[in-house]
């Protein structure tokens, strides 16, 4: 895709390349890379530079037991096969879905979600927002990456379409509104609970795990 205007910040791409990004954010980055020629080229160029730098480094002695651990790893069952893209869902999302369609849970006002993954480092979810509907106004206690898979949404930070990523942080308060046309389907990752302004979303927050 060539019409993407909102990309993954460089420091997040660097962390993804280094393998230090929490899983929930890594899935968003991998999904964006599958859609964005520009960021994919930047990522691949960074890999080449990193490989060249490693090639220049001197070798290091292996830790005791490294060979035994390697043999155990070779005998371990292979990882599950990679999933293919399906409809609006790129391959990294289908991997999290286990190859199955989303199982939506209603949040109210026609908005739905499916939690794909959650641990101590954050949560990853799919959101389905009907055209013209707004997510409750909220701020953030940490970082949020939201990638559009279908349709669009707009908020105080701009307008976001398929492939675009909004990076939100503690200084951003917003109320995303789905654009006209197709329902907006987003992949969203957070590393802390949202900070809702209205009473009802705050009361329902523990139930919906947002």
Among 142, 184, 132, 135, which residue's Cα sits nearest to residue 162? Answer: 184
Tens place of pLDDT per residue across the chain (210 aa): 558 999 999 999 999 999 999 999 999 999 999 999 999 998 888 665 544 444 455 656 667 777 777 777 677 776 666 789 999 999 999 999 999 999 999 998 899 999 999 999 999 999 999 999 999 889 889 999 999 999 999 999 999 999 999 999 888 899 999 999 999 999 999 999 888 888 777 777 777 777
Give the integer Cα–Cα distance in Å for 152 and 31.
17
Task: Identify the domain containing residue 184 by its residue range.
Answer: 1-210
Could you read off the pLDDT of 43-64 as tens digits, one per residue?
888 665 544 444 455 656 667 7
- Does this model's pTM top 0.85? My answer is no
Number of domains in the chain: 1
Could you read off the pLDDT of 65-80 as tens digits, one per residue?
777 777 776 777 766 6
- The whole-number pLDDT of residue 54 equals 46
CATH (domain of 125): 2.60.120.10
106 CB neighbour count, 10 Å cutoff: 11
Give the integer Cα–Cα distance in Å for 128 and 5.
22
Backbone φ, ψ for residue 197 (5° rounding): -90, -35
Give the integer Cα–Cα distance in Å for 144 and 81.
29
Could you read off the pLDDT of 150-173 as tens digits, one per residue?
999 999 999 999 999 999 988 889
């Amino acid at each position: 895709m060539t019409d993407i205007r909102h990309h993954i910040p460089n420091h997040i791409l660097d962390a993804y390349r280094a393998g230090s990004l929490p899983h929930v954010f890594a899935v968003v980055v991998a999904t964006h890379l599958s859609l964005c020629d520009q960021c994919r080229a930047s990522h691949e160029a960074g890999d080449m530079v990193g490989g060249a730098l490693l090639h220049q480094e001197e070798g290091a002695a292996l830790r005791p037991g490294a060979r035994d651990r390697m043999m155990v790893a070779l005998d371990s069952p292979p990882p599950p096969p990679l999933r293919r893209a399906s409809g609006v869902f790129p391959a990294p999302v289908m991997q999290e879905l286990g190859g199955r369609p989303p199982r939506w849970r209603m949040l109210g006002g026609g908005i739905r979600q499916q939690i794909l993954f959650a641990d101590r480092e954050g949560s990853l979810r799919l959101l389905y927002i009907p055209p013209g509907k707004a997510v409750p106004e909220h701020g953030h206690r940490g970082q949020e990456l939201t990638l559009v898979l279908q349709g669009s949404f707009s908020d105080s930070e701009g307008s976001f379409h398929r492939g675009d990523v909004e990076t939100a942080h503690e200084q951003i308060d917003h109320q995303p509104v789905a654009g006209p046309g197709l329902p907006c389907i987003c992949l969203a990752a957070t590393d802390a609970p949202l900070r809702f302004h209205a009473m009802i979303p705050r009361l329902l927050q523990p139930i919906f795990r947002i």
